[in-house]
Structure 1
Amino acid sequence: MSRLPFYLIVGLLLVLGIGFSVHRHVQLEVPWTPGEQRQTWEVEAVVDFTALGEPVRVDFALPSHQRGYRILTENTASPGYGLSFLQDDAARRAQWSIREATGSQQLYYSIRLLVTDDRDQQPIPRPALRNSAWERPYDTAAAQVIERAWARSADPYTFARELIRDFSDDRQGENARLLLTQFDRGPLLVRLLNQAGVHAREVSGLMLNDGRRRQTLTPWIQVYEDERRWSLFNPVTGEQGRPDNLLLWETGGQAVLEVQGGTNSRVTFSMLSRNQPAAAAVRSQLANDTLLNFSIHSLPLEEQALFQTILLIPIGALVVVFLRIMVGIKTSGTFMPVLIALAFIQTTLLTGLIGFLLIVAVGLVIRNYLSYLNLLLVARVSAVIITVIAIISLFSVLSYRVGLNAGLTITFFPMIILSWTIERMSILWEEEGPKEVLIQGGGSLVTAVLAYLAMNNPWIRHITFNFLGVQLILMALILLLGNYTGYRLLELRRFKPVTED
């Protein structure tokens, strides 16, 4: 029979599992290791104004996802005000409204940002050219300034750089000084660029510095070549490029703050930088599931904690399959060691080993007595289950009385599995002798300990919980191990006399 379909299935599982995992790491920035730290910024904006005792509407520009930063959470505080978030192609805005307000007013907006390694320019619609007529003599001055910068440039970027430098203090000519007496620098530069056929607009940015308070936005000139090729220019120095700590707050070419029904409005910013575990930093975006972002994080916390343990079971199954098929270790029950390993996670390894040995030893003694009663199988197993419950209860009470609170955790042992383990070991003792009981019992304990060490590893717990594609990889590995038909490692002892000869 051809094994091609089998290997195709295994290959497909590996490709899908690795692909899903890499996608979550690259696109969603889920870290591979549990201890990885990420930098986040908490920025708070305070809008102050004086209300005039009439209806008030406040429009405030909001930042969006951009190169180097990703929005995690945002909150507002505005007692008595209605709030709406508006979104269009140009920008995001928050709009507060109230029927009547008087006196000093304060509105709060806070945002938490994740610093990312994404350096790609995001596509932004190119602004339309806005040409307006100049009054005399400013039309002549504007034309001469444009002509001078144009002669020293080769493309929109070099033209913008030369034009801005012509307005700097050291290169400022008569025409530039004349224009600056009538117009503000930022809108003036945008107007001159538009007149020369260069798509540009003024944007507002916030320089992020840890622990700074009462900061204001700074103007920047954004020059476009197309939707994906644009650059920022400092309108004072003419330097091209975006600083790493610059957060673009308003990119639509609109006013940052507009207040109707109030006066003396202003907005100030405070910021704080923090380092926190990467998994916690991106948890909010992990909850927004798509088909390729299938995540446990969208479940309630109680179910998340449950699945964090359930998703470890395939790791234990892989350990059992490897030890039984490749090494040849015998166990009492196929996957009983996995359940015992889960109990060890709850009880700690030493407490779990002592509790397991005590329960099985006492259970075997009582089961040996029950064998003389010639009970039917169902009744005998039921009696063993009740016995196991009584043993666990007795040990818990005794450990609590002597001050060993760790003994209370043996209640996490799977009672039904322990009962069947005692039943099978008892039958094995009668049929094969105590040696076989020690072999299978010892093999079960060794397998359970190794499964516990694998399942309790912080890196494995992190990977299995945050990358569900790992389950497909584990399935592929188990299928490959199940296809093995060679000698087991422990079976090679049979060939030892041959090497001696």
Structure 2
Amino acid sequence: MSRIPFYGLVGLLLLAGIALTLYRHLAFDVPWSPGEQRQVWEVEAQVNFIADGGPARVELALPVTQQGYRVLTENTASSGYGLSFLQEQGVRHAQWAIRKAAGAQRLYYSVQVLVDPRARATPAPPPVIESPVAWEPPYDTAAREIIDQAWRHSADPFTFAHRLVERFTDAQSENARLLLTQYDRATLLVRLLNQAGVAARQVSGLSLEDGRRRQHLTPWLEVFDGRERILVDPVTGRRGRPDNLLLWGAGSPAVLEVQGGSRSQVSFSMIRHNEPAAVAVRNQRAEDTLLNFSIHSLPLEEQSLFKTILLIPIGALVVVILRVLVGIKTSGTFMPVLIALAFIQTSLLTGVVGFLLVVAVGLVIRSYLSYLNLLLVARVSAVIITVIAIISLFSVLAYRLGLNAGLTITFFPMIILSWTIERMSILWEEEGPREVLIQGGGSLLTAVLAFLAMNNPWVRHLTFNFIGLQLILMALILTLGNYTGYRLLELRRFKPLAED
């Protein structure tokens, strides 16, 4: 029979598992290792204005995910105001409204921003060039002369913008001083660029500095050349975006608009802190799609349940390796996996001691039940009740003696322990105590090794955050299930040949 379909299935599972795992890491920044930290900035915007006594409406442009920064969570505080979030042409606004407000008003908006080198901004269309740009005499002549001088010493829109900024840093330029009496620098530079046919707009940026208070936005120029865009500092002419610059309301003509009030202003406070990477990723506003399939979308109670369930395939892989490749005998196929799960709840030492005590006492009582000649169902039921009684008795004794760790023995799977005692008792009668020790010891060894694999922090982190690993484990188990060679413990039969 051809094995091509089998190997094709294994290869498909491997490829699908690896692809899903890599996608989760690359697209959503899920870390490979537990304990990784991510830098998060918490920025608070405070809006202050004097209300006129009638209806008031306030619109504040908001930051969006952009190059190097990803918006995690946002909150507002605005007593008595109605709040809504609006989005128009890629620009997000928070809009506060109230029917009647008088006197000093204060509104708050806070946002958590994750420093993420993989974050990319959604490309925004370039601004429409204002044409023609209207100037009043003598400003039209001064603007034309500055444009002509900068144009002759430039090669593209970016160098042209740099030359324009240089003209306004030149203290000897009378034309620049004249134009600055009419417009602020950033607005003036945008008008000059548009007059020269260069698409540009003014954007606002916030310099992130840990622990700073009452900071204000600074204007920047965003210049387009048809294929790419670049930020230009209107004061120094430096091109490129600084690492600590957070664009606020990029593409919005105004950051703050207030109707029904006066003397409005917005100031910012910020603080930097680190969060575990898993928490930061969980707070991301990523869309819930099938490709972003994760347990994190479930309620916390179900997440805790699945965090344990997803470890079972690891224990199953350990059992397959030990039974198929090594040749260890166990009492029950996957009973050691369930015992290992109990060890996770009880701790290893407490679990091993509790397992040995329950099984030993259960075997003694089961030996007595064998003299009663009961039917199988009744005998197993009696063993189950006996196991429950043994666990209850040990728990009470542990509590009376002040051994709180002994209370966790209740996590043992009682039905599985009962069947284990039943099978070991039958094995004792049919094969003798040696075989009982072999299978019992093999079961305990397998459970301990499965516990060590399942309780590893790396394993717990990977299985919970990367569902694709389940497909990889399935492929490995299928491959091991195809093995028909000698087991490691069977090689002892060839020892006399080696000695000869």
TM-score (ref. length: structure 1): 0.98
Shift of 1:118: 2.2
Q: Whole-Å Cα distance in 1 between the matches of residues 181 and 279 of structure 2?
A: 52
Q: How does 1:5-404 map to 2 (within 5 A)?
A: 5-118=5-118, 122-131=122-131, 132-170=133-171, 172-226=172-226, 229-285=228-284, 288-404=287-403
Q: Secondary structure at the match of 2:79?
A: coil
Q: Whole-Å Cα distance in 1 between the matches of residues 375 and 240 of structure 2?
A: 84
Q: Whole-Å Cα distance in 1 between the matches of residues 287 and 250 of structure 2?
A: 26
Shift of 1:499: 0.7
TM-score (ref. length: structure 2): 0.98
Q: Secondary structure at the match of 1:346?
A: helix
Contact 1:287 1:297 in 2 (8 A): no
Match of 2:407 in 1: 408
Shift of 1:284: 1.9
1:148 partner amino acid? Q
Shift of 1:443: 0.3
CA RMSD across the alignment? 1.1
Shift of 1:437: 0.4
Q: Quick one: structure 1 residues 465 and 2, their matched pair in 2 at CA, closer, same or farther if it must change by over 3 Å?
A: same
Q: Secondary structure at the match of 2:269?
A: strand
Contact 1:216 1:267 in 2 (8 A): yes
Q: Quick one: structure 1 residues 9 and 109, their matched pair in 2 at CA, closer, same or farther if it must change by over 3 Å?
A: same
Contact 2:56 2:98 in 1 (8 A): yes
Please list the CA deviations of residues 90-116 of structure 1 after superposition, one character each: whole Å capped at 9, or x if unmatched. 411111000001111110000001100
Q: Whole-Å Cα distance in 1 between the matches of residues 210 and 86 of structure 2?
A: 29
1:451 partner amino acid? A
Contact 1:201 1:253 in 2 (8 A): no
Q: Whole-Å Cα distance in 2 between the matches of residues 494 and 445 of structure 1?
A: 25
Q: Whole-Å Cα distance in 1 between the matches of residues 119 and 17 of structure 2?
A: 27
1:147 partner amino acid? D
Shift of 1:289: 2.0
Aligned residues: 499
**Runs in 1 of length 4+ with deviation above 4 angstroms?**
119-122
1:6 partner amino acid? F
Q: Secondary structure at the match of 1:32?
A: coil
Contact 1:286 1:297 in 2 (8 A): no
2:456 partner amino acid? N
Match of 1:417 in 2: 416
Q: Whole-Å Cα distance in 1 between the matches of residues 52 and 156 of structure 2?
A: 50
Q: Whole-Å Cα distance in 2 between the matches of residues 342 and 314 of structure 1?
A: 12
Shift of 1:169: 3.9
Q: Quick one: structure 1 residues 457 and 286, their matched pair in 2 at CA, closer, same or farther if it must change by over 3 Å?
A: farther
Q: Whole-Å Cα distance in 1 between the matches of residues 95 and 286 of structure 2?
A: 27
Q: Whole-Å Cα distance in 2 between the matches of residues 387 and 90 of structure 1?
A: 68
Q: Quick one: structure 1 residues 287 and 144, their matched pair in 2 at CA, closer, same or farther if it must change by over 3 Å?
A: closer
Match of 2:466 in 1: 467
Q: Whole-Å Cα distance in 2 between the matches of residues 20 and 89 of structure 1?
A: 33
Q: Whole-Å Cα distance in 2 between the matches of residues 402 and 95 of structure 1?
A: 64
Q: Whole-Å Cα distance in 2 between the matches of residues 81 and 184 of structure 1?
A: 34
Contact 1:288 1:298 in 2 (8 A): no
Q: Whole-Å Cα distance in 2 between the matches of residues 411 and 489 of structure 1?
A: 36
Q: Whole-Å Cα distance in 2 between the matches of residues 419 and 181 of structure 1?
A: 92
Q: Secondary structure at the match of 2:168?
A: coil
Shift of 1:253: 4.0
Q: Secondary structure at the match of 1:183?
A: coil
Please list the CA deviations of residues 47-91 of structure 1 after superposition, one character each: whole Å capped at 9, or x if unmatched. 001111100000110011100000110000111101111101141
Contact 2:343 2:451 in 1 (8 A): yes
